[in-house]
């Protein structure tokens, strides 16, 4: 099983910097997602690893060996493209067998392996169908089987589910992860869908403008964003603006409220303006009877919008510390309407700040 290491990858297209000194170490058997908006360089990085692009400078090491000197067809990696990659003049079985055919494997061995892999992706019944007879989801499964047939040391996936329906996407991503775990194959997965990345990866590299903003486990990325970009890109974040009152006690004044930042590494000096981040699910709401004032530690808020999201409802609030979004169970939200005044409570243990 293979480790993959990217060192100082740089690539510029004309005046656009696609990759800016990218460094990444992927451990053997690990599933790492490259997550970011279009143009952040994630696909470029993947294509460089696969051999379809070359960097201006930097190294790509697989199992410690530099692969940049190898042509794409010699690197023994499996790649799944976003769409249209199945050969139209071959059946599913023939597609899967292709890599083995090129390696001059025997007819029986090819057929056996093709059957094995198509069963693995749940499409043994479609062996004799042509790509145009398969749905999008089925085509991608065959593409996956095809890439695994050659027993690659690394699996690369370039937004493999982006062209599929939402429901199929959710199903298929779980399967991709299941197969990856079963085979223990080192995997790099490019996507712009943060839910996808967070749900199936061992680690996620959030990218922007050619560099990695943060690399960590899904939990770390979600709960502990280290930059404003990551905070805003991954999930929804409430942004609170305030001024530091005391560095030692980590107190920040936001409007009329005094909030304590839980992170012990908080390093902004007194008087400095900072941004604090809080997830909608860390804000709770209580109904107020007419004329009541909120209990101490809580503050007032006025409902400005209600967005039904299924299990939760996102409540837009206008408060003294600025606009907020709170995720509230839909059952509770039934009692709310625009302009309702509510009591708002922040879970200050979840407050995050970006280090200086």
| Residue ranges in 88-127 that form contacts with other proteins under rule CB under 8 A | 88-90, 98-99, 101-103
Please say which residue, 66 or 320, places its beta carbon nearer to other proteins.
66
Q: Which DSSP string do the residues of 46-94 spell out, in sequence order?
A: HHHHHTSS--SEEEEEETTEE-TTS-GGGS-EEEE-SS--S-TTS-HHH
Distances (CA, A) of 103 to 40, 120, 252, 274: 36, 22, 64, 59
Pairing of strands 273-278, 283-287: unpaired
Contact flags string 210-239 toward other proteins, x per CB under 8 A: -xxxxx----------xx------------
Tell me phi and psi for residue 31, to 5 degrees. Answer: -115, 105
Determine if 73 is a binding residue for other proteins (CB under 8 A).
yes
HSE-CB at 293 with a 13 A cutoff on CA atoms is 2
Tokens of 285: 């709401």
- Residue 189: name the closest of 243, 220, 144 by CA: 144
User: Which position among 3, 5, 21, 202 is part of the footprint of other proteins (CB under 8 A)?
Assistant: 21
Determine if 68 is a binding residue for other proteins (CB under 8 A).
yes
Using the contact rule CB under 8 A, the part of the chain among 26-34, 47-55, 115-123, 159-167 near other proteins is 47-55
Cβ at position 9, least distance to other proteins in Å: 8
Determine if 253 is a binding residue for other proteins (CB under 8 A).
no
User: Which position among 1, 52, 241, 293 is part of the footprint of other proteins (CB under 8 A)?
Assistant: 52
Pairing of strands 238-246, 16-26: unpaired
Determine if 243 is a binding residue for other proteins (CB under 8 A).
no
Binding residues for other proteins, total number by CB under 8 A? 53
Determine if 44 is a binding residue for other proteins (CB under 8 A).
no
17 contacts: CB under 8 Å, gap ≥ 6: 10, 11, 209, 210
Q: Which residues of this chain interact with other proteins, rule CB under 8 A?
A: 7-8, 10, 21, 23, 50-59, 66, 68-69, 71-74, 76-79, 81, 83-90, 98-99, 101-103, 132, 143, 146-147, 150, 205, 211-215, 226-227
């Amino acid at each position: 099983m293979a480790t993959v290491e990217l060192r100082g990858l740089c690539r510029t297209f004309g005046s656009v910097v696609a990759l800016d000194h990218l460094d990444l170490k992927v451990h053997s058997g690990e599933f790492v997602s490259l997550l970011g908006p279009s143009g952040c360089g994630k696909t470029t990085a993947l294509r460089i690893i696969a051999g379809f692009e070359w960097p201006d400078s930097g190294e790509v090491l697989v199992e410690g060996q530099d692969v940049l000197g190898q042509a794409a067809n010699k690197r023994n990696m499996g790649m799944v493209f976003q769409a249209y990659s199945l050969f139209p003049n071959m059946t599913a079985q023939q597609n899967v067998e292709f890599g083995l055919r090129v390696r001059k494997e025997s007819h029986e061995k090819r057929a056996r392996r093709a059957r094995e892999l198509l069963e693995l992706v749940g499409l043994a019944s479609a062996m004799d169908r042509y790509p145009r007879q398969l749905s999008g989801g089925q085509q991608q499964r065959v593409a996956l089987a095809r890439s695994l047939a050659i027993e690659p040391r690394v699996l690369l996936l370039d937004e493999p589910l982006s062209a599929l329906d939402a429901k199929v996407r959710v199903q298929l991503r779980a399967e991709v992860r299941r197969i990856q775990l079963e085979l223990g194959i080192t995997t790099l997965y490019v996507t712009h869908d943060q839910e996808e990345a967070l749900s199936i990866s061992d680690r996620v590299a959030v990218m922007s403008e050619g560099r990695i903003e943060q690399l960590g486990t899904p939990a770390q990325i979600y709960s502990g964003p280290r930059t404003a970009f990551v905070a805003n890109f991954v999930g929804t974040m409430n942004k609170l603006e305030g001024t530091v009152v005391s560095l030692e006690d980590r107190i920040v004044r936001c409007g009329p409220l005094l909030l304590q930042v839980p992170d012990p590494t908080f390093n902004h000096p007194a008087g400095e303006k900072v941004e604090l981040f809080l997830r909608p699910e860390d804000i709770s709401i209580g109904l107020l009877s007419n004329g009541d004032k909120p209990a101490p530690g809580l503050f007032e808020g006025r409902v400005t919008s209600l967005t039904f999201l299924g299990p939760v409802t996102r409540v837009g609030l206008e408060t003294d510390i600025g606009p907020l979004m709170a995720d509230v169970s839909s059952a509770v939200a039934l009692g709310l309407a625009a302009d309702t005044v509510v009591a708002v409570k922040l879970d200050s243990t979840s407050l995050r700040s970006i280090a200086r």
